[in-house]
Amino acid sequence: MKCFKDLSCVCNRYGLYFSNMMKFGDHRICSNCLKALQLSVYRKQHVRKKWTSTAVRQSFIDFFCQNHDHKVIKSSSIIPTKNQGTYFTNAGMNQFKPIFLDTIDKSHPMSELRRAVNSQKCVRVGGKHNDLEDVGKDLFHHTFFEMLGNWSFGDYFKMEACSMALELLTTVYKIPINRLYFTYFGGDEGQGLVADMETRDIWLSLGVSDDRVLPFGMKDNFWDMGDSGPCGPCTEIHYDYIGGPNSVRLVNTGLPEVLEIWNLVFMQYNRRTDGTLEPLNRVHVDTGMGLERMLAVMNNTSSTYNTDLFIPMFNAIQKSCNIRGYGGKTDDPIDTAYRIVADHTRMASVCIADGLLPGTRDQGHKLRSVLFRCFHQSKRMLQMPHGLVPSLVDVVVQSLGEAFPELQEHRLKIKDVISDSEDHYEKVFRIGVKAFDKCLSSNKDTASRHLTDKILMDIVDGKYSDGYGIPSEMLPHLGEIYSVSLDIQGLQQIVEQHQSKEQVEKTEKVYLSPETVKEIVGMGITPTDDSFKYTYQYHSKDNMYDFPQGMKAVVSAIVKDDHLFSEAVGKDEFGILLNKTMFYGECGGQIADKGCIKTNNGFFYVRDVQIVNKYVLHIGNMESGSISVGDSVFLHIYEDHRLGCMKNHTATHILNGCLRKIYDNVRQEGSRVSPHKFSFDFSTTSQMKQEDLTTLQDNVQQIINSGLIICRGLQPLDQALQISNIITMANEEYPSHVYTVSIGRGCSEFSTELCGGTHVTNTKDIESFCITSASMSPLGIKRMTCLSGTQAKKAIENGFILEKYLQEFEAMIKSEAQTDTWLDRVKHINKIQQVLLEVNSSRPVAVVSTRDKNLSIVVCLNENIELDDGFEAELKSVDSDVKLKKKVKKNCTFLIITLKRKALEKSVAICEKLQSVFS
């Protein structure tokens, strides 16, 4: 509306010539602008009282809940459960997917849901397009946002959905209807889809004038979940910031003057795998309204940052940095930094509250990248003092804590994690600067101030920083400081190649897609009764567990590559579905049973067991003969494998309980139970100290020795959650009825967890326990790797032997009398190496508690002997023991360093100690 200022006769906004300029106050303006101006005055007077984010959110929820009988559903975690199939929760519908796909368990509390409303926490970072780099540069992108939504699951459809939407917008939010545009699906001949005239007519019948109802194609107005599954047309509601007849041309152009504010999806088709569409029996409505965008509309600003979700953060930053305030410009680096720091702190807070921690993989890696980017901007652009970003968490909690209580609950933890990350960032930054210096001086000849992907990979691998790798997300920041261009894309490709190579072994293969499950259900095949996995008994007489070996079952289906077969034959991998089984399917961190399925003429080796929608799939291959659908078969599990898992699983629970007694806010993040060892991941707000490990080890052993009884119970979820001190897993989806596992009864009750695993019946059966490694990175999840049973015994023994040998060796070196020859020393070192090698290959690693004692002996030995020049070079050329003996000439240092590097470094995790030298 600049035209009234320059008094020309050309209206700037529309670029049109107006002869009839009018007077408005002291100015002459065109008629269009007059209209807009009058409207804005009207708006200021009537409609636009300041709307807070809380008011926008709550009005939405109240409207659907109170006026239209919707059930308020809590936002699901930002970290999706395994079967939701996305990286981060990125839309409101993620948690309802099983309802749309019709794969939801009938006992699930949500299976009866008809109408729902909520505000869903969403994160969009990474994926194919790296939009992270865009956040902060414009005025409306975010890594974290809220999606308001209402749903109908086989309940109301288009008419009700549209009329409720219009009612909310015009009566609650009080938006004039002439500021809204409505789009509908205009059909697609190529796909054989007719236009959604029904929706068009509905809008007209609700009083929308026909020049405001516009058709668009597949891209804008047809929604699908993927290549197959539920899909359908959608109708979008757009808000017009300008007003006036010319805005119609701006709908769906991506220009900020006319913005989409609400999308209503009507799921009415199912797309089959061959691409054809069939009508759905039950139709659904899924809608999404971005809270931040709606809030901006309600405050008549086109920037989502000019709202109460961000302004308090900007104020807090300004106050502590003593810099100028946020100016809202897009081409201003300070304003950009303001937006990045505020947005990223919100995202990190929400993720950490949901249990995510910065790390090197998957979502944890994304979180770390976001945090690093936040620190970079806060330090380099805003000169924010160290420790200020964590304090912004309070502002986030103030703004979002009411809607998402988990933020309040974990406020201290969030601050701790961000603070740890900041320390980590500083440390890595210092090392990175040195690495860049070194790298640039040693690559002078390339001189073009460009670092290729290969050079970057070297930096990442730690070539320029004594083996201390620089995380790739640090590189752009360093590149900026050194003004060098970096081939980040090339590096990305190399990293991805590495990862995909790793993932080939790791990816979870889809054995049964939802479609095949549907087919199986359609054939009348009932889910597998796998309750027999719990049918085992302890016989004190022979000190043995008795499993139902040879159990009889019937083959109900055979699958290969997600297709149904009538017979399993040949060397290919098959999945056999049985009517009942005693095999344990991988679940809750405990790996599956192994074993075999036998018939009179077939032997099937079961290498893995997976449970898909209560169907238990025995995966493996025919060793001989064949097995067909309908065959009667006999089942055998490998008992040692199962028993090892049982001991380790119970030991996991004991460790979990003991951790909670010495640390605050312990949260189990995962576990992996195999027959040979188990690992336990957890987070805590307490500092983990070396001496805790010995205490923990002793406490667990004490529980084992006290012979507590272990009981399994089955009860409704709500009832189980009432149990005091019940231990549940973060981000785990529990069914309506759950198993509980209690250790100890009555007054000697030690712990109760929700758990469907298999356990020993008495803690005594675990015999022995030890911790073999504990990663105590201040970032990321803390992980303990542990052993139980005979493996633990052997590891503890190894630790003592090693200690003894090392002490002998120490005495030998220190003795003034040079009676021993270097050959004696070599012999002794060989003895030590023998233990270490044995430990390193199949045998358990030495126990943490003795490891440190041993390590200190080695360090002490090292200090007693002077280093020889040129020794490092010599060391590199030595790679076998034979050569070693030839090369060694009374050089004790050599021996010790070799010992340290070659054996200890790997098996005794000396790396940790070495790395701390850098800090």
Which residues are near Zn ion by CB under 5 A?
A: 755, 757
Helix, strand or coil, per DSSP, at residue 686: coil
Please say which residue, 196 or 753, places its beta carbon nearer to Zn ion.
Answer: 753
Rounded CA gap, 459 and 473, in Å?
Answer: 12
* CA atoms 447, 452, 457, 460: torsion sign: positive
Please say which residue, 76 or 752, places its beta carbon nearer to Zn ion.
Answer: 752
**Please, what is the minimum distance in Å from the beta carbon of residue 744 to Zn ion?**
15
Please say which residue, 517 or 609, places its beta carbon nearer to Zn ion.
Answer: 609
Please say which residue, 479 or 757, places its beta carbon nearer to Zn ion.
Answer: 757
Please say which residue, 61 or 710, places its beta carbon nearer to Zn ion.
Answer: 710
Please say which residue, 545 or 565, places its beta carbon nearer to Zn ion.
Answer: 545
Please say which residue, 403 or 587, places its beta carbon nearer to Zn ion.
Answer: 587
Q: Which two structure tokens, joined as six digits, stand for 168?
A: 């909310």
**Please, what is the minimum distance in Å from the beta carbon of residue 755 to Zn ion?**
3
Contacts of 146 (CB under 8 A, 6+ apart): 57, 119, 120, 121, 122, 290, 291, 292, 403
Rounded CA gap, 682 and 624, in Å?
Answer: 44
**Please, what is the minimum distance in Å from the beta carbon of residue 662 to Zn ion?**
20
Place of tokens 């231990």: 727
Please say which residue, 149 or 757, places its beta carbon nearer to Zn ion.
Answer: 757
- Compute the half-sphere exposure of residue 495: CA atoms within 13 Å on the CB side of its CA: 20
Beta bridge partners of 671: 680
**Please, what is the minimum distance in Å from the beta carbon of residue 705 to Zn ion?**
21
Rounded CA gap, 903 and 881, in Å?
Answer: 12
Asked if residue 539 belongs to a known ligand binding site, the reply is no
Please say which residue, 381 or 755, places its beta carbon nearer to Zn ion.
Answer: 755
Please say which residue, 78 or 755, places its beta carbon nearer to Zn ion.
Answer: 755
Contact 363, 351 (CB under 8 A): yes
* Residue 262, H or E segment: strand 258-271
Residue with CB nearest Zn ion?
A: 755
Contacts of 484 (CB under 8 A, 6+ apart): 440, 449, 450, 451
Asked if residue 759 belongs to a known ligand binding site, the reply is yes
Q: Which two structure tokens, joined as six digits, stand for 79?
A: 């970290």
- What burial class does residue 575 get, using C-beta atoms within 10 Å of its C-beta: 0-12 exposed, 13-18 middle, 19+ buried? buried
Helix, strand or coil, per DSSP, at residue 543: coil
Rounded CA gap, 241 and 260, in Å?
Answer: 11
Q: Distance between the two ends of the chain, CA-based, in angstroms?
A: 58
Rounded CA gap, 412 and 393, in Å?
Answer: 9
SS (H, E, C) 743-805: ECCHHHCCEEEECCCCCCCEHHHHCCEEEEEEECCCCCCEEEEEEEHHHHHHHHHHHHHHHHH
Contact 602, 626 (CB under 8 A): yes
Asked if residue 498 belongs to a known ligand binding site, the reply is no
Rounded CA gap, 127 and 98, in Å?
Answer: 22
Give the number of residues written for the chain: 919
Beta bridge partners of 553: 633
Contact 476, 468 (CB under 8 A): no
Radius of gyration of the chain, Cα coordinates, nearest whole angstrom: 33
Beta bridge partners of 259: 239
Please say which residue, 119 or 648, places its beta carbon nearer to Zn ion.
Answer: 648
Instruction: Tell how far CA 344 is from the center of its chain.
Output: 16
**Please, what is the minimum distance in Å from the beta carbon of residue 588 to Zn ion?**
5
Q: How many CB atoms lie within 10 A of CB 84?
A: 19
- What burial class does residue 882 get, using C-beta atoms within 10 Å of its C-beta: 0-12 exposed, 13-18 middle, 19+ buried? exposed
Contact 443, 455 (CB under 8 A): yes
**Please, what is the minimum distance in Å from the beta carbon of residue 769 to Zn ion?**
16
Classify residue 320 as left (phi > 0), alpha (psi -120 to 50) or beta: alpha
Please say which residue, 231 or 592, places its beta carbon nearer to Zn ion.
Answer: 592
Rounded CA gap, 307 and 300, in Å?
Answer: 10
Please say which residue, 741 or 839, places its beta carbon nearer to Zn ion.
Answer: 741
Please say which residue, 744 or 757, places its beta carbon nearer to Zn ion.
Answer: 757
Please say which residue, 436 or 750, places its beta carbon nearer to Zn ion.
Answer: 750
**Please, what is the minimum distance in Å from the beta carbon of residue 759 to Zn ion?**
8
Rounded CA gap, 403 and 838, in Å?
Answer: 55
Rounded CA gap, 185 and 266, in Å?
Answer: 11
**Please, what is the minimum distance in Å from the beta carbon of residue 584 to Zn ion?**
12
Helix, strand or coil, per DSSP, at residue 153: strand
Q: Give Cα separations from 731 to 89, 781, 822, 893 (angstroms).
A: 12, 15, 58, 51
Hey, what amino acid is at 221?
N
**Please, what is the minimum distance in Å from the beta carbon of residue 742 to Zn ion?**
11
- The phi and psi torsions of 577 (rounded to 5 degrees) equal -100, 130
**Please, what is the minimum distance in Å from the beta carbon of residue 846 to Zn ion?**
27
Asked if residue 108 belongs to a known ligand binding site, the reply is no
- The phi and psi torsions of 868 (rounded to 5 degrees) equal -100, 140
Residues annotated as binding site for Zn(2+)? 649, 653, 755, 759
Residues annotated as binding site? 649, 653, 755, 759
